[in-house]
Amino acid sequence: MFELLGIPPQALFGQLLLGLINGSFYAILSLGLAVIFGLLNIINFTHGAQYMFGAFVAWMLLTYGGLGYWWALILVPIIVGITGIIIERLLIARLYHLDHLYGLLLTFGLALIIQGLLRNQYGISGLPYAIPPQLAGGQNLGFMFLPNYRGWVVVASLIVCFGTWFVIEKTRLGAYLRAATENPTLVGAFGINVPRMITLTYGFGVALAAFAGVLAAPIYSVNPNMGADLIIVVFAVVVIGGMGSILGAIITGFGLGLVEGLTKVFYPEASSVVIFVIMAIVLLFKPAGLFGRTA
């Protein structure tokens, strides 16, 4: 079969591994979107900008504050998460009683503003951000040279994705969250502060995006458009996985990374559309997405 496709199996393994690495970014980002949509019913179009902002804050911490990668990995999600909380309290909270469309427009506008401001300040070519020395270099796996940093990206995103899934699906806090999604009034009646929980959830979703931004900073150029390029694909991932489905977002994230990786080998010209073709097919046969429930 491999001979038929004209690709030696070793090269194929290499490409699958790369697909997995790209899938890690899709997974973390679509996870954040799914969490936010699941609990807030807000289609967070600012997500890409928040991912980009995460990378920028990491760069700023290094350039202006002298704080390196490991600090950034902890501090950036907190800082960007707090900006998310402020945005939710000041703006998004006013839209919950309105149609989805308003939240979408608001967050889309915010994304354009954040991008525009950073573009004005830092230009478009991108800023250099070095790979931390502990993760420099790479391993020769026989079939490919795997940079240590890319390996770390996969591990880190698996941990974060699993952790999030575990908290939401298996803990008491997660149970409150899920209950609040189903019936906020009833959960509130049990003495749980639902608005605060929603605010924190948004902050958490944003922090996930920022975390992905820090992971991306050393391998992609840190530039104001990095989120805009990615967010459309991530939305397709969320739609394929099923809006609001946590596990769906994670599995489709990694899965589509693999599919895209294979497309880059067999028909590179199509690699930017393959995900949307899959999205169209999935929507035709399962409108709620692969893992979604029909309401």
Nearer to another protein, 151 or 195 (CB): 151
Task: For residue 149, state whether it binds another protein (rule: CB under 8 A).
Answer: yes
Closest approach, Cβ 192 to another protein, in A, equals: 41
Closest approach, Cβ 238 to another protein, in A, equals: 18
Task: For residue 5, state whether it binds another protein (rule: CB under 8 A).
Answer: no
**For helices 100-122 and 226-241, what crossing angle results, to 10°?**
150
Tell me if 274 sits within 8 A of 63, measured CB to CB.
no
Task: For residue 156, state whether it binds another protein (rule: CB under 8 A).
Answer: no
Task: For residue 131, state whether it binds another protein (rule: CB under 8 A).
Answer: yes
> Which listed range, 58-66, 158-166, 239-247, 266-274, lies at the site for another protein (CB under 8 A)?
266-274
> Which listed range, 80-88, 89-97, 137-145, 248-256, lies at the site for another protein (CB under 8 A)?
137-145
Task: For residue 226, state whether it binds another protein (rule: CB under 8 A).
Answer: yes
Task: For residue 221, state whether it binds another protein (rule: CB under 8 A).
Answer: yes
> Which listed range, 39-47, 191-199, 220-228, 238-246, lies at the site for another protein (CB under 8 A)?
220-228
Task: For residue 266, state whether it binds another protein (rule: CB under 8 A).
Answer: no
Nearer to another protein, 83 or 148 (CB): 148
Closest approach, Cβ 111 to another protein, in A, equals: 13
Binding region for another protein (CB under 8 A): 11, 14-15, 18-19, 21-22, 119, 123-128, 131, 138, 144-145, 147, 149-150, 219-221, 223, 225-226, 229-230, 261, 264-265, 268-269, 271-272
